[in-house]
Amino acid sequence: MYSTSCFVRRTAAFTLSLLGLFTAAGAWAQDAVASAAPAAAAPTISAGDTAWVLASAALVMLMTPGLGLFYGGMVRQKNVLSTILQSFILVALIGVQWVVWGYSLAFGAGNAFWGDLNFMFLHGVTQANSPVTNIPHLAFVMYQAMFAIITPALISGAFAERIRFKAYIFFMLAWSTLVYDPVCHWVWHANGVFNKMGALDFAGGTVVHMTAGYSALVLCLLMGKRKGYGQENMVPHNMTMVLTGTGLLWFGWFGFNAGSALGANALAANAFMTTNTAAATATLSWCFLEALHRGKSSALGAASGAVAGLVAITPAAGFVDVTGALWIGLLVSPICYFFVVVIKQKFGYDDSLDAFGVHGVGGTFGAIMTGIFANPAVNPVGRGWLYGNPHQVVVQLYTVGATLLYSAALTAFLWIVFERLFGMRAVNKEEELGLDISQHGEEGYLI
């Protein structure tokens, strides 16, 4: 029989734990309950961690329409609405796919290469089988859904102004299922082949940016150049929209990277700081490089530099310190600038909005730099070359190569399939008229 004092202590502990008044009080309450509960008691869900992850999911969701504005401003006026819609529609399309089968393929137990289908329609998703114990399983599902949504949207920048909407829908549904979901499993599931190798990817350099970037390059090569490319003026029609979209991306990226700590903790704070530092440094270095090369710094260059910095720090945000973030931001802009300005012109491919040049190249660079700068003082999971583990760079290079080959091969296969089924590219008349009218019967601007 319990004493009155014991009852009071337990009641106070339970009340403080539920209310989450203070971290210290919450910790005391959990300790008190744990000391009296059986050894097999389930871990306590943290209200603070749950709130941060849900808020981060909302931030990442905002990135997809933000990306639509970013891309929409860079195309010609006759394609602005269709370009924004290509991002927006994926919030719905992949939002449903993730619930029905995508989450199960990515985070079901399965094997080293893909998950099983035990979580289809989210059946069987319980706290007992959650990958993380400090937040509800559904909070984790929702957070990961936002990554699955924005990744295929990134690809659309490579073939902007020349894809049929119906073909786009079916292609993206298949691509998310056969490319994104398996690679997500490789990297972020405990059974995944890259995870078991010790590959470091804090928030999606491999899973998001490399899969999208390499696929973007394949698609722009297979689809061919826009009609009039190189002869007609195809400069961005609305740079104000581009900068607004960039600001939304930068804002949402704090949820993308810091949210990947899956808790309101010191690791999230580090990822928040390194994200902003790398983005700011990359913006400045791109503007400086552009001024040296062209005599002027442009708004498009500032936006490109910011996104390049955000991309490159994504795999490293929770592994590197601020010094590492400064180096990543400083160096990524010259590398991406070289691909965007020099390589694209030399080889003549029409990566319309530089999806490969920024996301593919920047994501690859960030993954390699993670293997160099990963600091165990920031995160004991990762130790890079500078901290006595040069083998980590080898692991990172292996994941880069495997992701490149897999993403490129599957993307080419899917393009062949849907090209035969629907015709992926808009015909000349549709492209000349503009995708807003030809695909949707609407105009972005009524002036």
Q: What is the mean pLDDT of residues 197-212?
A: 98
Rounded-to-integer distance, Cα 60 and Cα 47, Å: 20
**Segment (H or E) for 116:** none
Separation of alpha carbons 275 and 312, rounded Å: 9
| Mean pLDDT within 371-394 | 98
At residue 16, does pLDDT exceed 50? Answer: no
The CA-atom distances, in angstroms, between 269 and each of 25, 57, 318 are 21, 16, 9
Question: How far, in Å, CA of 330 to CA of 76, rounded?
Answer: 31
CA–CA separation, 305 and 336 (whole Å) = 8
Instruction: Note whether 68 and 86 are within 8 A (CB).
Output: yes
Q: Region of 155 please: left (phi>0), alpha (psi -120 to 50) or beta.
A: alpha
Distance CA 209, CA 81 (A): 24
Tens of pLDDT, residue by residue over 37-54, are: 344 445 689 999 999 999
Cβ atoms 97, 179 nearer than 8 A: no
Is 90 exceeded by the pLDDT of residue 31? no
Closest CA to 419 of 218, 256, 246: 218
Residue found under tokens 């970013």:
70
Confidence (pLDDT) at 447: 65
The percent of residues in the chain predicted with pLDDT above 70, rounded, is 90
pLDDT at residue 42, rounded to an integer: 58
Amino acid at site 99: V
Q: Which two tokens stand for residue 348?
A: 């003549």
User: Could you give the CA distance from residue 272 to residue 258 in angstroms, rounded to a whole number?
Assistant: 5
Tell which residue, 370, 185, 148, has the closest CA to residue 271: 370
How high is the pLDDT of residue 446? 83
* Structure tokens belonging to residue 298: 């442009």
Looking at the predicted structure, is the pLDDT value of residue 28 above 80? no
Mind listing the pLDDT tens digit for each residue in 205-237? 999 999 999 999 999 999 999 999 989 999 999
Q: What is the DSSP letter of 225?
A: P
Specify the pLDDT at position 9.
42
Instruction: State the Cα–Cα distance between residues 80 and 444, nearest whole angstrom.
Output: 6
pLDDT digit string, tens, across residues 414-425: 999 999 999 999
pLDDT value of position 107: 98
Q: Does the pLDDT value for residue 374 go beyond 70? A: yes
Q: What is the pLDDT of residues 263-288, one digit of tens each?
A: 999 999 999 999 999 999 999 999 99
Least confident of 12-16, 71-75, 210-214: 12-16
Share of the chain above pLDDT 90, in %: 89
Is there a contact between 274 and 322 (Cβ–Cβ < 8 Å)?
yes
Domain segments of the chain as ranges = 4-36, 50-440
What tens digit of pLDDT does each residue of 124-144 get? 999 999 999 999 999 999 999
Note the pTM of the prediction, 2 decimals.
0.90
Q: What are the two backbone dihedrals, phi and then psi, of residue 88, each rounded to the nearest 5 degrees? A: -60, -40
pLDDT digits (tens, 9 = 90+) for 318-354: 999 999 999 999 999 999 999 999 999 999 999 999 9
- pLDDT of amino acid 213: 98
CATH assignment of 50-440, among 1.20.1260.10, 1.10.10.10, 1.10.3430.10, 3.40.640.10: 1.10.3430.10
What is the average per-residue pLDDT within 168-184? Answer: 98
Q: In which band, very low, low, confident or very high, does the pLDDT at 30 lie, cut at 50, 70 and 90?
A: very low
**Eight-class DSSP state of 163:** B
